[in-house]
Structure 1
Amino acid sequence: MIEKLELNHLRMLSALYEHGTVSAAAEALDVSQQAASLQLKRVREILGDPLFVRTGHGMVPTAYGQLIEPHVRQLLTLIHAMPMPTSIPLEEIERTLSISATDHAQRIIVGDLIRELRRAAPRVKVKISNIESAGLVRRMQEGEIGVAFTSNGYVPEGLLSTPLFTERYVCVAGRPLTEGPGALALEALVEHDFLVVSPAVPSFDGSAGSWFEQQGLRRRVVASVPSFFMALQYLRQSDMVAFMPSRLLPCDGLFEVPLKKYPPGFEVVAAYHPSAMSDSLLTWVLDCVRANCGKAR
């Protein structure tokens, strides 16, 4: 039966030990005397002992009531000592923050974040891994990954996400494709071979495939790579063209191809498990990243 004791029961016992009457205990707890009497009755039923008896000077604990008094006080002390999610100073947090991120997000977000973390939370270690959508929910639920920085389209169902910024695309190639300041027509652009970046699952579709179809055009994709950084390197060494995130440019050895129309960009988000919503470190990380991304606009 003891497992049926509630926090309010312990608080009532503690108030009776201290004040000696039901009325005084009720006043200290800011409840009615009737409510206090009902709580005492319930505790007596649970523990199978009167706990307190009336005397000419109020109520005094029984032998069993005296026996459990230090336990009641100890339990309340432990409960009151429990830290709240936001009560631990950032500089005292000692743990590992595991981040999963695309190479684009690692370049734009993670470098600045690590620098800020070293200043604000020097006891926090950071572990970075490349983004993998498969198994991300399970790994976050089990605490293996704390936060992921990726595009909105790669956030699996079951995770929460916070928008950080919208990235736009720029068309680039290893050599100039236009003469002068004029823009290249899309009909001329699709005559070139394309390279696409597909970070999570290898694919020749790319993010702009459906956009070209909406323009009534079909491009020829000849290479698919998982990394924006390697894509930039491959473009330097070939005659392919590609759409690259603007925040990774300019890049030595690559030339922007001006166009009249561009495919829509993508939203970069921070993804995390719902169980981490009250994590003070995660809250600080999200605030820090949003502030840094805002400055970079």
Structure 2
Amino acid sequence: MIEKLELSHLRMLSALYEKGSVSAAAEMLDVSQQAVSLQLKRVREIFGDLLFVRTGHGMVPTAYGQLIQPHVRQLLAMVHALPMLTSIPLKDIERTLNISATDYAQRIIVGDLLHALRGAAPRVKVKISNIESASLVRRMQDGEIDMAFTSNGYVPEGLLSTSLFTEKYICVTGTPLTNGLELLSLESLVAFDFLVVSPGVPSFDGSAGGWFAQQGLRRRVVASVPSFFMAMDYLRRSNMVAFLPSRLLPCDDLFEVLLEKYPPGFELVAAYHPSVMSDPLLSWILDHVRTQCAAAR
């Protein structure tokens, strides 16, 4: 029966202990005397004891009522001590923050974020993992991931996302294809072998596959890697071409290929589960990252 005890029952008992009468307790709680009497009847049923008896000096606790009095006070004190969501300073938050991000986002976003967190929330420990789109929703629901930084195309249904900025692509290669000033036509570009970056889900399509098809062209993709930094290393040692985000360039030993037109870029977003929208730490992170990204534009 104890599981049927409610917080209002504890407040009613506390008022009776303090005031010693139903009418005074009702006034203290700003309810009717009938409401107090009904609650007392219900609590008596739960505990199997009268708890209070009427005497010439008002309502007096029974022996069992006296026994549970300190427990009632302790329970109410614990409830009142519960911190409000916005009352916990960041410097006092002690937890582990789990971030999932593409290697691009780790370079552009997470590095600065880690530095800022050390100053604002020094008790927060951070775990960084590579993005895995297929399991992202489940891992966020289970609390394994708090926030993800990735492109908008890799945010699964069921998650919310906040746009941070739009990135553009630049075509690069490990071997100069032009004199650095000449524009290369797309028809000439597709004569070369392509390397694509496909984080999370291996694929030969890449982000620009559909765009080339819209141009009436078909490129030949011969390699797919999960990170841009792997792509940079492979490009240096081959004659392949690839599209890389502009914020990762310039890069030693890679040469830009100027084109007549470029595929659309991608939107970098912060993704999170709806259940964490009121989390003060994650709210601070979103505000910080948005501010930093806006300043970098």
Overall identity of the aligned pairs, in %? 80
| Structure 1 residue 180 displacement after superposition | 6.6
**1:206 paired residue number:** 206
Deviates more, 1:28-37 or 1:103-112: 28-37
**1:226 paired residue number:** 226
**1:117 paired residue number:** 117
**2:43 paired residue number:** 43
* Letter of the structure 2 residue corresponding to residue 166 of structure 1: T
**2:141 paired residue number:** 141
Residues 1:282 and 2:282 aligned together: yes
TM-aligned CA distance change 1:91 to 1:236, over 3 Å:
same
* Letter of the structure 1 residue corresponding to residue 87 of structure 2: S
| Structure 1 residue 20 displacement after superposition | 2.1
**2:97 paired residue number:** 97
| Structure 1 residue 81 displacement after superposition | 1.8
**1:78 paired residue number:** 78
Matches of 2:40 and 2:117, distance apart in 1: 50
Q: How does 1:167-186 map to 2 (within 5 A)?
A: 167-179=167-179, 181=181, 183-186=183-186
Matches of 1:27 and 1:166, distance apart in 2: 60
**2:15 paired residue number:** 15
| Structure 1 residue 182 displacement after superposition | 5.1
**2:236 paired residue number:** 236
Secondary structure in 2 matching 1:196: strand
Equivalent pairs, count: 297
**1:54 paired residue number:** 54
**2:29 paired residue number:** 29
Secondary structure in 2 matching 1:244: strand
Matches of 2:23 and 2:153, distance apart in 1: 61
Secondary structure in 2 matching 1:239: coil
| Structure 1 residue 179 displacement after superposition | 4.6
Cα deviation digits, residues 103-148 of structure 1 (max 9, x gap)? 1001001110111011112222222222222333333333333322
**2:130 paired residue number:** 130
Q: Is the 8 A contact 2:169 2:264 kept in 1?
A: yes
Matches of 2:268 and 2:227, distance apart in 1: 16
| Structure 1 residue 274 displacement after superposition | 3.7
Matches of 2:292 and 2:180, distance apart in 1: 36
Matches of 2:36 and 2:171, distance apart in 1: 73
| Structure 1 residue 267 displacement after superposition | 1.8
| Structure 1 residue 244 displacement after superposition | 0.9
TM-aligned CA distance change 1:233 to 1:180, over 3 Å:
closer
Q: Which runs of 5+ in 1 are unaligned?
A: none
Cα deviation digits, residues 5-60 of structure 1 (max 9, x gap)? 10011111111111222232222223233333322222223223332233344322
Matches of 1:294 and 1:55, distance apart in 2: 71
Q: Is the 8 A contact 2:180 2:258 kept in 1?
A: no
| Structure 1 residue 228 displacement after superposition | 0.3
| Structure 1 residue 181 displacement after superposition | 4.3
**2:164 paired residue number:** 164
Secondary structure in 1 matching 2:116: helix
Matches of 1:282 and 1:119, distance apart in 2: 15
Query: What TM-score results when the alignment is normalised by the length of structure 1?
Result: 0.90
Matches of 2:23 and 2:251, distance apart in 1: 77
Deviates more, 1:110-119 or 1:235-244: 235-244
Q: Which runs of 5+ in 2 are unaligned?
A: none
* Letter of the structure 2 residue corresponding to residue 266 of structure 1: F
Q: How does 1:260-271 map to 2 (within 5 A)?
A: 260-271=260-271
Matches of 2:99 and 2:260, distance apart in 1: 38
* Letter of the structure 2 residue corresponding to residue 152 of structure 1: N
| Structure 1 residue 256 displacement after superposition | 2.5
Secondary structure in 1 matching 2:166: strand
Matches of 2:254 and 2:180, distance apart in 1: 16
Q: Is the 8 A contact 2:180 2:256 kept in 1?
A: no
